[in-house]
Amino acid sequence: MNKILLTGALLALLLSSCEKEDKKEPFVGPQLPSNFPQPAYDLSANPVTEAGFALGKKLFYDPILSRDNTIACADCHISFAAFTHPDHPTSHGIDNLFGKRNALPVQNMLWRTSFFWDGGVPNLDLVPLNPIQNPVEMDESPDVVLEKLRNHPEYPGLFREAFGSEEVNTARFLQAMSQFMAMLVSADSRYDHYVRKEPGGEMSVEELAGLAVFQQKCAACHATDLFTDQSFRNNGVIDDFSLDKGRAEVSTFSEDIGKFAVPSLRNVAATAPYMHNGKFKTLESVLDHYAGGGVKDSPTLDPLLRQSDGTLGIPLSTAEKAQLIAFLNTLTDETFLRDARFAQ
């Protein structure tokens, strides 16, 4: 008891002296919003520290991770676009090569149960290996990346600060990257304030009407306050899957052909273009797609997009579309998009 009191007093002293000296705000790890479900990532196995976060951030912004030191993670994941690649329907990587898929946002990663459009990766820690090895993204062998970091003037010291010694190994490298990505929590939109009944959560009649339409017609897939049920579905964007079979690329099963991960809609106004292949430039065109304009039929098309009269899509009136757009705009989290801790 005495010991606790003493350390408590010491800590307080330390903290207060810190504040006086450099007026630096104490580091706060990722905050888990009350309107989110339990995170999938085990933070206790990789607690986020100030030094770990700083190291992860440096790595995220460093082209040293690519074969010719030209492409950083942040080139395709830009902070003000919720860490997507604006204006790029599909990713643009090393040697000016283009991938086949649209960059996903890097936000609320702690809650993801699988990663990428096909769900090929189970754990955030394993994610960076994919873009690093991808021949059209960074095209580097991860063991070479570790070697480059070991021979770098700064990194071994940063690893010491984060992990206690200068050893650069796979687990530390990946866990540092996860510490940066773990911090990218977006839950400060107007909609969040509304559901948490906080100040700043006023929603207009139009927006509330949009929320009601959304709950009725979209939330079966874009579920919970993460706006995804994390399943794989075919919403009729394409019917020729020869270039990209989606979930079947990893499962091999024909019943998965054309199914893609249901994306979160947080900050959706800032993440154009849309869909796995970047087919749509605007939210209006997405809604026109759903409303029946362009839903493509194929054997795995989701049953929710087949109406009882045989028509494809989700019926939406012009008024409902406007309401939905108004609602989707309330999911923009300016605090997150402009957070100086995350930008370069």
Partner 1 sequence: MQKLLFPLLALFLLTALPACKDDTKPDPTPTGFGDVVIEFENRAGDETLVFGKDYVNAAGETVNFSTFNYFVSNFVLVSTDGTEYVVPKDDCYFLCNGDDADSREITLTNIPAGDYSHIHFMIGVDSAKSVSPVSERTGDLDPAGAASGMYWSWNAGYIFVKVEGTSPQAPVEPSTGQRIFQYHTGLFGGFNSPTLNNLKEVHLDAPHEAAEVRENSEAPHVHMYVDVLEMFTNPTNISVAANPTSHAGPYSKTVADNYADMFSIDHVHNH
| Binding-site ranges for ligand HEC (CB under 6 A) | 60, 65, 71, 73, 75-77, 91-93, 99, 101, 103-104, 106, 109, 112, 115-117, 127-128, 131-132, 137-138, 177, 217-218, 220-222, 233, 235, 237, 260, 262-263, 265, 268, 271, 274-276, 283, 286, 290, 302, 304-305, 314, 324
Task: Name all contacts of 322-326 with Cβ < 8 Å and 24+ positions apart.
Answer: 322/206, 322/210, 323/206, 323/207, 323/209, 323/210, 323/212, 323/213, 324/210, 324/213, 324/214, 324/218, 324/287, 325/210, 325/283, 325/284, 325/287, 326/204, 326/206, 326/207, 326/209, 326/210
Q: Among 124, 112, 134, which Cα is nearest to 181's?
A: 124
Count Cα atoms within 13 angstroms, Cβ side, for 236: 22
Q: Going residue by residue from 205 to 234, which x/- string records binding to partner 1, judged by CB under 8 A? A: ---------------------------x--
Stretch that binds partner 1, among 22-30, 108-116, 209-217, 268-276 (CB under 8 A): 108-116
Within positions 30 to 89, which residues make up the interface with partner 1, using CB under 8 A?
A: 42, 45
Query: Minimum distance between the CB of residue 196 and ligand HEC, rounded to whole angstroms?
Result: 22
Q: Going residue by residue from 292 to 321, which x/- string records binding to partner 1, judged by CB under 8 A? A: ------------------------------
SS (H, E, C) 226-266: CCCCCCEEECCCCCCCCCCCECHHHHCCHHHCCEEECCCCC
The correct pick among 252, 282, 317, 335 for binding partner 1 (CB under 8 A) is: 252
Q: Does 201 bind partner 1 (CB under 8 A)?
A: no
Residue in the structure block whose two tokens are 């087919």: 279
Stretch that binds partner 1, among 89-97, 126-134, 215-223, 298-306 (CB under 8 A): 126-134
Query: Minimum distance between the CB of residue 163 and partner 1, rounded to whole angstroms?
Result: 11
Cβ-contact 313, 254 below 8 angstroms:
no
Q: Going residue by residue from 142 to 171, which x/- string records binding to partner 1, judged by CB under 8 A? A: xx-xx----------------------xxx
- The amino acid at 321: K
CA 56, 62, 63: angle at the middle one, nearest 5?
A: 140
Q: Does 263 bind partner 1 (CB under 8 A)?
A: no
Query: Minimum distance between the CB of residue 131 and ligand HEC, rounded to whole angstroms?
Result: 3
Which of 91, 332 has the CB closer to partner 1?
A: 91
The correct pick among 14, 126, 319, 343 for binding partner 1 (CB under 8 A) is: 126
- The amino acid at 148: K
Q: Which of ligand HEC, partner 1, none binds 176 (CB below 5-8 Å, type-dependent)? A: none
Q: Does 250 bind partner 1 (CB under 8 A)?
A: yes
The correct pick among 251, 285, 298, 329 for binding partner 1 (CB under 8 A) is: 251
Which of 75, 188 has the CB closer to ligand HEC?
A: 75
CA-to-CA distance for 72 and 66, rounded, in angstroms?
7
Q: Does 141 bind partner 1 (CB under 8 A)?
A: yes
Query: Minimum distance between the CB of residue 72 and partner 1, rounded to whole angstroms?
Result: 18
Q: What share of the chain is helix, strand, coil (3-state, %, to 5)?
A: 45, 5, 50
Count Cα atoms within 13 angstroms, Cβ side, for 67: 13
Cβ-contact 163, 154 below 8 angstroms:
no
CA 23, 29, 30: angle at the middle one, nearest 5?
A: 135
Cα torsion 313, 318, 323, 324 to 10°: value is: 20
The correct pick among 134, 285, 298, 329 for binding partner 1 (CB under 8 A) is: 134
